[in-house]
Chain A
Amino acid sequence: MASIKKGVVYLLLGILVVTQVYPLLWLILYSFKTNEEILGGSFFALPASPRFANYTEAYEQGNYLRYLFNSIFVTVITMVVVIVLASMVAYAISRFRWKLAPAALLVFMLGLMIPMQATLLPLMVMFKNIGILNTHWSLILPYIAFQTPVAVFILSGFMKGIPHEIEESAFMDGASVYRIFRSIILPISVPPIMTVCILTFINIWNEYILAATFISSERLKTLPFGVNSFVSQYTTNYGNIGAFLVMGAIPVILIYFILSERITKGMVAGAVKG
C-alpha cells in the first residue's frame, strides 16, 4: 500500500518534470533542426544531424554580442547603484533616530504596489524633454527606482537586527557615521545584499517593456528586446529563431547552474520579505 502511494507520487513528480522542462528541451532540439524537419511536424524526433549553421547564421544576422553587452552594462550599473542607494536609506531608516523614518519606509513600500506600466508614458515624455530618451539612462534610472522598494525593505529588515553594541564601541573610538556605515554595517550586511543582487539581476536582466518602449536604436537594445525584434524580423527562418532564443536564454541559465541554490533562496527571501 505504502509503495503504491509512493509510486503514484513519483509518477506525479515525474510528469511535472516533463511539463516544466520538456518545452525547454524541445526548444534546444528545435534550434538544431532544418526548416524541413521543423515543418515536418515530428515534434519529438531528434534532428537527423544537428544543424549548427542555425547558430552561426543567427549569430551573423543578429547583433547578439551587442545586445549581450548592453544588457550586462545596464544590469551591472543598476545593481551597483541600487545596492549603494538602498543600503544608505535602509541604514538611515533602521538605525538613525528621526521622526520621519516610518513615513520614509511607507513611501518606499507604496512603490511595491504601483504598476510600472502606469509610468511608461509620463516617463517617456520626461525623458524626451531632458533628451535622454533612447539612451541607456532612460532604462537605468527607472530600473533603479523600481528596484529600490524591495531592496530597502530587505536591507532595513536585516539592519534592524544588528546589535547596537558594535556601533556604539566604534562611535566611542571616534568613528564617524560614514565610517561605521562603510566599515561595519556594509560588511555585516553582505547576505541580504546578495539577495538584493539576485533579485535585481533577474528582474532587470529580463526586463522587456521599458526597453521596447524607450529604446529605438538597434545598437542600444538589451538582450530581451533584441531577441524579440530578431524573432519578429525573421519569421520564417524557424531554426535560426530557435537558435537565437537559446542564445538569449544561455547567460541566465549558465548563471542558474552555477548559483541555483543562491538564486532560489534569494528569490524566496525577496518574495517572503517583499
Chain B
Amino acid sequence: MNVLKVRWWTIGIFVLPCLLLYMMMVFVPIVISGYTSLVEWDGIGVNKTFVGLDNYVDILFHDPHFWPAVRRTLMYAVFSMAEIPICLLFAILINRYVKRGNRLVSIYFMPVILSVVIIGQLWKTIYNPLDMGGMINGILNALGMQGHMRAWLSSPQFAMYCLYFVSLWQYFGYHLIIQFTGVQNIPSDIYEAAKIDGADGFKADRYITLPLIVPVFKISIVLAFIGSLQAFDLIMVMTGGGPAHATDVISTLMYNNTFLTFKYGYGSALAMTLVFICLAFTFVINGVFNRIEKKVG
C-alpha cells in the first residue's frame, strides 16, 4: 500500500467543505424530521405539543389512506421490476439481430432524459377525454370502441394503472440500455466456444448470457425498486394523488399532509416511515441478491 500520508488538516481541507454541506442538507434534515415526527405542529406558531409516537400509531392504525398507499408503492415496484426481464430479452435480440444496435437503443432512450414535467403533461394530454383531444380516446374512437373511452386520469379505478404505465414507458429505455451494455460486455469468444460444443441461440443464452448478466440485472432491479419506493414527482405532476386518494403513494401522502393540510408532525412521521422503508428494503434486496450471486457464481 503506497498511499499518501498527509497532515490531518490537509484531509480536513479536502473533505470538510463537502461533508459539512452534505450533512447539513441530508442528515440534519432527517434528524429534524425525526424530531418533528414526535410532535403535533401546524407549522405556523411556535406551539409544538410533544405527542411521542402518536403520529406513527395514527399512520399505522387509523389512517385509511396509508395502507392503500403502501400497496400502490409496492405494486409500483412490482411492475417496474417485471419490466426488466422484457428489457433483457430486447437487449439480447438487439445485440443478435441489429447491426448498429447502439443507434436503436439510443432512440429508445429518449424519454429517459426528459423532465417528469414534460413527460407527465404530455401523457396527461394523451389520457385526456375525447372532447379535450386525448390521443388514447381518439384511437379508441377511431377503432369503434367508444364503450372503452373514459377520462382515464379521473377514474379512481384506472388512474393508478395509467401512472404505472407512464413510468414503465419512460424507464424502458433506461433499463434496456443497462442490460444492452451488459450483454455487449460478455466476451464473444465464450459464445464461439459454446457454439463448437453445440450450444447456440437460446441455449447459449440460458447457459452463458443469463449467469453472466446477473450482476447487471441486479443493478436494474435495485434501481427500479428504489425508484418506485421514491416515485413521487410524476404523480404530483399528473394527479397529485387524486382523484379521491386513488393514486396516493407514501410520498404523495407525505407531501399533501405536510404542504396542503399543514400537519407538519404527521407529515414528518410519514417522511420517516418512507426513509425506514427505503433503508430496510435496500438491505433486504441486497441480501437476496448476494445469495443468488453465490448460487449462480
Residue contact A92 to B11, C-beta cutoff 8 Å: yes
Q: Is A55 an interface residue (CB 8 A)?
A: no
Residue contact A20 to B108, C-beta cutoff 8 Å: yes
Residue contact B264 to A121, C-beta cutoff 8 Å: yes
Interface stretch, picked from A46-54, A57-65, A107-115, A187-195, is A107-115
Residue contact B6 to A177, C-beta cutoff 8 Å: yes
Contact with A along B1-38 (1 / 0, CB 8 A): 11111101011011101110110111011101100100
Residue contact A263 to B113, C-beta cutoff 8 Å: yes
Q: Is B251 an interface residue (CB 8 A)?
A: yes
Q: Within the complex, which residue of B30, B106, B113, B229 is in contact with A119, where a contact is CB–CB below 8 Å?
A: B30
**Given A20-B169, A95-B3, A125-B32, A26 contacting B126 (CB threshold 8 A):** yes
Q: How far is the CB of B38 from chain A (nearest CB, A)?
A: 14
Q: Within the complex, which residue of B10, B29, B125 is in contact with A242, where a contact is CB–CB below 8 Å?
A: B125
Residue contact B118 to A249, C-beta cutoff 8 Å: yes
Q: Is B241 an interface residue (CB 8 A)?
A: no
Residue contact B114 to A206, C-beta cutoff 8 Å: yes
Q: Within the complex, which residue of A19, A40, A96 is in contact with B169, where a contact is CB–CB below 8 Å?
A: A19
Size of interface on B: residues with Cβ below 8 Å to A: 96
Bound-state Cα–Cα, A122 to B43, Å: 11
Q: Is B236 an interface residue (CB 8 A)?
A: yes
Q: Within the complex, which residue of B1, B26, B98, B237 is in contact with A228, where a contact is CB–CB below 8 Å?
A: B237
List of B residues within 8 angstroms of A108 by Cβ: 22
Q: Is B102 an interface residue (CB 8 A)?
A: yes
**Given A10-B97, A41-B130, A91-B14, A164 contacting B2 (CB threshold 8 A):** yes
Residue contact B112 to A267, C-beta cutoff 8 Å: yes
Contact with B along A165-191 (1 / 0, CB 8 A): 001100100000100010000000000
CB-based nearest A residue for B251 = A117
List of A residues within 8 angstroms of B21 by Cβ: 85, 141, 144-145, 148
Q: Is A208 an interface residue (CB 8 A)?
A: yes
Q: How far is the CB of B283 from chain A (nearest CB, A)?
A: 9
List of A residues within 8 angstroms of B177 by Cβ: 264, 267-268
List of B residues within 8 angstroms of A26 by Cβ: 126, 135
**Given A26-B135, A43-B135, A268 contacting B110 (CB threshold 8 A):** no
Q: Within the complex, which residue of A152, A164, A252 is in contact with B113, where a contact is CB–CB below 8 Å?
A: A252
Size of interface on A: residues with Cβ below 8 Å to B: 94
CB-based nearest A residue for B104 = A13
Contact with B along A93-124 (1 / 0, CB 8 A): 10111100000100110010111111111110
Bound-state Cα–Cα, A108 to B13, Å: 17
Bound-state Cα–Cα, A117 to B277, Å: 13
List of B residues within 8 angstroms of A209 by Cβ: 232-233, 236, 255
Interface stretch, picked from B50-58, B137-145, B191-199, B289-297, is B137-145
A118-143 with Cβ < 8 A to chain B:
118-123, 125-126, 141-142
Residue contact A245 to B122, C-beta cutoff 8 Å: yes
CB-based nearest A residue for B24 = A145
Q: How far is the CB of A170 from chain B (nearest CB, A)?
A: 11
Bound-state Cα–Cα, A46 to B199, Å: 50
Q: Is A76 an interface residue (CB 8 A)?
A: no
Q: Is B186 an interface residue (CB 8 A)?
A: no
Q: How far is the CB of A141 from chain B (nearest CB, A)?
A: 6
**Given A224-B115, A272-B178, A118 contacting B33 (CB threshold 8 A):** yes
Bound-state Cα–Cα, A26 to B134, Å: 11
Q: How far is the CB of A199 from chain B (nearest CB, A)?
A: 11
Q: Within the complex, which residue of B25, B126, B254 is in contact with A146, where a contact is CB–CB below 8 Å?
A: B25
Q: How far is the CB of B96 from chain A (nearest CB, A)?
A: 8
Q: Within the complex, which residue of A38, A97, A119, A181 is in contact with B3, where a contact is CB–CB below 8 Å?
A: A97
Contact with A along B104-134 (1 / 0, CB 8 A): 1111111111111110011101100011110
Residue contact B216 to A272, C-beta cutoff 8 Å: yes
Q: Is B271 an interface residue (CB 8 A)?
A: yes
List of A residues within 8 angstroms of B174 by Cβ: 267, 271
Q: Is A12 an interface residue (CB 8 A)?
A: yes
Q: Is A27 an interface residue (CB 8 A)?
A: yes
Q: Within the complex, which residue of A27, A41, A149, A208 is in contact with B115, where a contact is CB–CB below 8 Å?
A: A208
List of A residues within 8 angstroms of B135 by Cβ: 23, 26, 43
Q: Is B274 an interface residue (CB 8 A)?
A: yes
**Given A27-B125, A95-B3, A20 contacting B114 (CB threshold 8 A):** no
List of B residues within 8 angstroms of A118 by Cβ: 29-30, 33, 254, 271-272, 274-275
Bound-state Cα–Cα, A28 to B135, Å: 13
List of A residues within 8 angstroms of B106 by Cβ: 260-261, 264
A70-105 with Cβ < 8 A to chain B:
85-86, 88-89, 91-93, 95-98, 104
Q: Within the complex, which residue of A10, A38, A88 is in contact with B17, where a contact is CB–CB below 8 Å?
A: A88
List of B residues within 8 angstroms of A177 by Cβ: 4, 6, 10
22 A-B Cβ contacts within 8 A?
Answer: A24-B110, A89-B19, A114-B26, A115-B274, A115-B278, A117-B230, A117-B232, A117-B274, A118-B272, A119-B26, A123-B29, A145-B24, A146-B26, A209-B236, A225-B117, A227-B115, A228-B121, A238-B125, A253-B113, A256-B110, A271-B174, A272-B216
Known pairs A39-B133, A208-B236, A212-B236 / 11 extra A-B pairs, C-beta < 8 Å: A26-B126, A43-B135, A43-B139, A91-B14, A107-B22, A122-B32, A144-B25, A145-B25, A206-B117, A238-B133, A252-B115
